[in-house]
Structure 1
Amino acid sequence: KDKKSKEKLPKAKSGVIADVSESQKEFEKRATQKQDISDLATDADEAALPEAELQTAGAMEAIELYKNLLVKYPYYERNDQVLYQLSRAYEETGQIEKAMVVLNQLVKDYPGSRHFDEAQFRRAEYFFTRKKYLDSEEAYQAVLDIGVGSVFYELSLYKQGWVYFKQDMYEEALNDFIALLDYKIASGFDFENIENAIEKKRIDDTYRVISLSFSYLGGPQAIVDYFDKHGLRDYEASIYSHLGEYYLETRRYADAAQSYNFFVERNPLHKVAPHFHIRVIEIYLAGGFPKLVVEAKKNFASNYGLRSTYWTFHDINSSPEVLAYLKANLADLANHYHALYQDKRLVKDKPENFNEASRWYRAYLESFPEDVKAPVMNFQLAELLLENANFRDAALEYERTAYSYPVHEKSDSAGYAAVYAYREHLKVAPQSERMVIKREIIRSSLQFADIYPKHEKAPLVMVAATDDLYELKDYVLAVKTGRKMLEVYPNAEKGLRRSAWLVVAHGSFDLTSYQDAELGYIQVLALSEKDDADREKITENLAASIYKQGEQALKLEDYKLAAAHYLRVGQVTPAAKIRPTADYDAAAALISLKDWKQAADVLLAFRANFPKHELQPEITKKLAIVYREDGKQLLAAGEFERIEREATNADLRREALLEAADLYEAGGDQDSALKVYQRFVAAFPEPIDFVLETRQKIADIFKKKNDMVSYTAQLDIIVKTDARAGKARTDRTRFLAANAALYLSQPVYDEFVAIKLVKPFKKNLDKKKAQMKVAIDTYTKLVDYGVGDVTAAVTYQIAEIYLQFSRSLVESERPDNLNAEELEQYELAIEEQAYPFEEKAIKVHEKNMELLATGIYNDWIDKSIARLSVMVPARYARPEMPSEFISSLTQQAYVPVTPAATTQPVM
């Protein structure tokens, strides 16, 4: 189990991390073994012996020679060299104890020998291997006392440190080990570029034993305390690293991480700080501390993000390992918190996990915007935002993923997701923002469809954008986009093509491009199912687009084209609700063209096709006009009668009946005209002027039919009706009544004329006088009407009454019993009786002449003038009249205007 766990220890990925793959036991055994000093040993002066003897002597023989030499020459000045050689010979023959005796004598007797430091070092090594640490310490110190001039100085420092270490004197050991490192630096040694493997190994060993010492002194805090006391060193990092790795080797994960953290906390800007931080993360991973791993990664990202202070002191490009780890670390953090956010068990932590995930995604993208994985990370950030209902931010990140990187595997998916996110945002956005969001949806949709036209959702997105444009009333772009969709995706799903065509049709209609709208609606219907619920609506729109083309033509006064379009509504969409209106307007356009025949055909078709339509009354009116204008009075009259039957407005009914009657009369159908006039007066007793006007027309028809009884009856009604009208009387009613009364007065006159002055003369004379009075009174009453023509007629008739009475007297039957004289006397008497009446006749006729002065001139006046010219030829029958009189007459006389009949336009 331990072996397996050991194999799982993380191997340092950075070269700045100490290598402690060697176990501590093996390390101490190797590091404390006797040092090979063959390359450091001083060369002995072989001249101490005869050359010939040295050449022929072996090791054992050399020992004897050196011993004899010392005995023979006890005071020889170079005996230190002899002793040195003797000690080496003993060592070569394995006689270590004897060698030490010789070395002890050498250092005792010859402290100034050039072999003194080596001898002391060899003695120290001897003592050390035998754990005689005090003796060893004394010997090493003797070398150190010589100073840096000794080639054994460095090794002595190193080994003396171990002496103290072995005696648990860790701080003393540290002093020597630190002194050794200081010595190396002072000597110009470059720890980062050690070419000699042995040197490198010794330095590493020194770091490791230092770390072990600090571990026994309390760990990283001991390092801090030591260097605070003895001064900081540039190589402290290696000490912390070795300490950390030592702890890691022994599975003391927390202590291992703490060792690195102590250094990083105190040296955050040190070049190796990020490497140490990475090692902390690796240690936590190895120890199985996920929470600590996450926290360490977060700290690493914060401390060594590309915007951190660290990089103001270091070249980013010189730290590819750190950058690579930072990149991976940011990705790990983002993915970690994203996964936690998605964990249904951690609902309460969602806000915090969302913020963390979002933070690290953004940190990654800010730090490595051009990295090959940046698009995927951007996409994941957008997904996170979408999951958190941050729809607008999600849309922006999806767009960034789709359009801000070279094409990648998520490009088109991100583009589509951006549109989706915008639409989700629209669902929850306040009303004040909806318009802006809709514009963003459209922009994003069109961008997606334009850049990724091969995406399976591109047609759908484009159609949706088209719908949005139409909803925003951007009809020009809506139609343009719809047409583009149909061009780019001619084989798109049927429903999508239908939607696109629908917007093209609707948009064109709203832009008054009704011909394009018509074509669009035709396509929509072609793409719709037979049982489509909207088929009827689309058909109505198609009809409207055709109808609108008619309206456009009508505005241009192109009535022929307008009528053609209106009629096409019924041809293309026979069941459309607007068809009746279109047919009606077609008839109106044809009427404007005065194409009476086709207009009548259209109107009659309308009547047959839409018998219950509300426009039927209007159809009747237009047919009436069309027939009237086309000269078909009887047909027109029938339509006007129909107008009267269909209308509810009294004025319209009244006018329609009058028009119908007039048309019947004009068409020669007197009977029908008479019936209509009679219906009129029966149905509309008021206003009085219309009634009397119609009564006059009835009377005229009776007169034409020579039905004088009925004629007279109508005139009588006119007179009586006017008499009862009171304030409703008008000039016209008085005119009609006056003329009717004038005609009705004729029998009175005729009766007067009919009385002949025959026997019995007196009886007939009295009767005639009485009738004359009746006649004059009857005519005199007519003057009250105030109608000039009638007044003139009355004046003429009264004058004629007087004249007729005068002539009747003259022409009266004579008595049979008179002689010639008596008869003559009778004649004179008759003439005397008749003359005054003739004079009255002249004077009354002259009254008509006076009317000339008032501007009245008519047939009755002319007849009076004619009568006067006969009765008073001297005055009125002159062939020539003074020019002054003629001038005056010309200026005064004119034909009076008869009060107009009360009429109003029928239509």
Structure 2
Amino acid sequence: MNLSYRFLFLAVVLAAPVAAQESFRVELGRDGKTIGDMRPVFLKFESRPLPAISPAEVARRYQRLFENSDEPEVRVDALNRLTNIRDRSGQDVGYSPEQEPEIYEEVLGSYESILARGSFSGRLDELLYQMAKAHALTGEAGASIQRLKQLVGLYPNSPLVPEARFRIAESAFANGQFAEAETGYRALLEGEGGEALKAKARYMLGWSQFKQGEHAWERAAATFQAVLDGFLPTAESIRQVPESSVETIDDTLRVLALMASRTRGLATLDQWFDSGSVRPWEPLVFDRLADLYAITGKYEASVAVNEAFHRRYPQHASTPRFLAQIVEVWQMAGDDRKVRQARAGYVAAYSPDTAFSLLEPRGQSRWREYARWLADTSYEAATGLSDRGELESSLPLFAEAAGYYETLAPRAANAGPIWRLAGDARLQARQRREALENFRTAAYEAGNYSEAADAGWAAVVLQRDRVINEARTELELLAAEVDQFASTFETDARVPGAQADLATRWLEIENYNQAAAYAGAVLMRGDAATKEQYAAWLITARVRQAQQEFGLAERAWRQALRLIDSSEPEVLASDDRDLILKQLATSVYRQGERAAETGKVAEAVAHFRRVGQVLPEAEIAIRGRFDAANTLLKASEWQPAVNELQWFRRSYPNHHLARDIGEKLVYAYSQSGQPGRAADELLALASGQANPWPDKLRAAALYHEAGDTGQRDDLYIEYLATGPSPASAEDHILLQTMRHHLLVSARDPGKIRAAIVEAELASEWHSADTLQWSAASAIVLGSHAAAVFADIPLNHPLAESLDRKQSALEAARARFAQAERFGGEAVRSEILYRRAELYRELAQDLMASEVPAELNEMEAMQYQMLLEEEAYPFEEKALNLHAENHGRIAETGYDDWIGRSLEALARLHPGRYERSIRWMSGNAPEVNREEGDDA
């Protein structure tokens, strides 16, 4: 959209003898909603304040002087003063807005009279200036600009010239004469004038260049950069931008970003800016270009801009914000993977102590936020994999989470929890030595960490694990660890129970029989504390689970859960309850798997459903219901499987497993004899596909199988409307089959038949069916063309009507030729008959055509003889074609079309062919056509 200007010359009069020092306001429009609608800001020139007198009284006197004087100079001066009083006072005095055009129309004569005499007590440049304003107020913009041009040409040294040049250039800009406007603004900038006016001219010069198109954008870019150099010369000026300059600066940044985005993007910025130094406002251009790309959905380009700034100016104070903006761009794009990469990049860039210390407080806070988020999300993702039994896949993620926690902890206000998380992540990653150090740090070096005892206990457990997994000789290390724990946390209730962990150590070295024996011994003791019973049940459960005795494992987990639920919190902490529930759910799930493997369908389904009773909405419960459906599918229990699948999709519509439900339902419906419902399901699947047609065409086939021709045909019509081009014989046959099926229900079967014929003609592939359908369609189209041919009367003038009839004849012949090309011998008898009838009808119509009324009797007889001579070849042609059809009896046998040719021959040549003969042969091939086709 082109920028446009509206010049609004407010009524301002210059009070002598300082008239040239007063001025007026030029409104240049406002900013638009889009970059294409951008308007330059207005320029405002202030007047000096009026003296403290009654504006109404002074205006009344000047108005009377203007009306009563016959002197042009007096009238001009009075009107100027009158309007100046009203404009400066803000009061409604003097002439009304409705009167002004007439008054200024009248005063223009006075201006012209003064100018014509060449004598004026004041300055002629001021007079031209005021004439320009008068023309503007009376709506004569062109005349106003002409006066301003006179002023510039005649008085180039006048102090009014800069403003006049500005108005001339603005007029050219408003009229779309951008090159002329550019010249005007340049002249102003190169001449005299105030810096404020030059700043506005420089801004408008950039717009004039921008509006000339891409070929002038290099000049526009240089100009707009000069504008920013003027407004933002220092970093301090960016922080203290006057409110009146905000819009101009903002527009300048936007148009620079727009030009860069529409040319070569980053390459354009490289061309504009010196990579060795950075002007204070250059980061704003990078930022605006990145924002423009992001807003328009060009996320890759936006990220590239932010990264480019980081590469160009790695030490710049704004660089961290550009790296942070990469995170925001990918968040806008909804790309979680790249959001993570961007946050990881930010954390990596400022992980070194020297780099981190240079960050502003907000940047350091952002670094901590990103590091914690990366650590937490890595940990959650690893936990999810572990819960699903994908332990090996979880290890790198746990290690990654630990690395982030370890980097974050020294810079966190409360480091204890983070060191503990780091230890837990290392433990999950099977990096026990590193985990032990993290737990020790959390327990003994993190200050007033409220859960330091738990961290210390974790260290004890880890040390015990090392003894079991590595060498029994390391028991001394375990003892030292327990001693430190006991001395540091003397009152901890876990200290006296340490020896009860012997069974656990057997379990850790996978000596399940010994572990089960020791656990059983604990359970047999009547004086065993609740905690020891609980530990024993846990060991038993884990042993049974490890031995794949999942029923016994479930019993043990439930006993452990019962102890947790029935004990006071100070006896057994409930923190383990969720873990036990997960393990209990796992044991139930495994029983379902075992039953499914052994073909016990009902039992497997029951187990899979029970998982949800243990841990509702957990991932393993969701997977259990999914596996229940799969078990039913594998057992060919279609309707129960359908019910289970539908329940799953209703309950977990956003779960990733729900993506497969549609295909499974299609399979179940198809196998259970419900093709229509399978097709409905396929249509639902297709709605979410980038290319829905594979599923839609499968649905159409299923609708066909179900006998639902309405929905089938709707899909055929929709698909054919896309203009598919066959890439193989199968594609061609499929498309022709669609068209053939559509003939039954089509509102315009002729259009469908034409499409069948044209497709077959254009194709390099054919089949018996497609050729038969194409032949039948061509015959019907030819029959319709023959009917059109027959309906054309041969009227006077004969040549004109005969041309129309012959054109119709050729159209019918072409269709019949196509039919014979497709159908071959199967349709030849019919084609010969129809072609012969075309010529017979033409001959008959020629004979019956109208004789011109202006002919006398002799001329009419001669005309009729001429018609007979013209008709005779066509009748002979018809006779020969019918005879050729007759001759086919010996080759192919008799058929109805040969019989029709014999009847025609009997009429054309009764002496030879009018006989009573009955042909018995009925074996000749015939092309099938749809009900309602022409015979």
Shared topology, TM-score over 0.5?
no
Q: TM-score range by the shorter chain?
A: 0.3 to 0.5
Where relative contact order (Cα < 8 A, 6+ residues apart) is larger, the structure is 1
Structure number with bigger Rg: 1
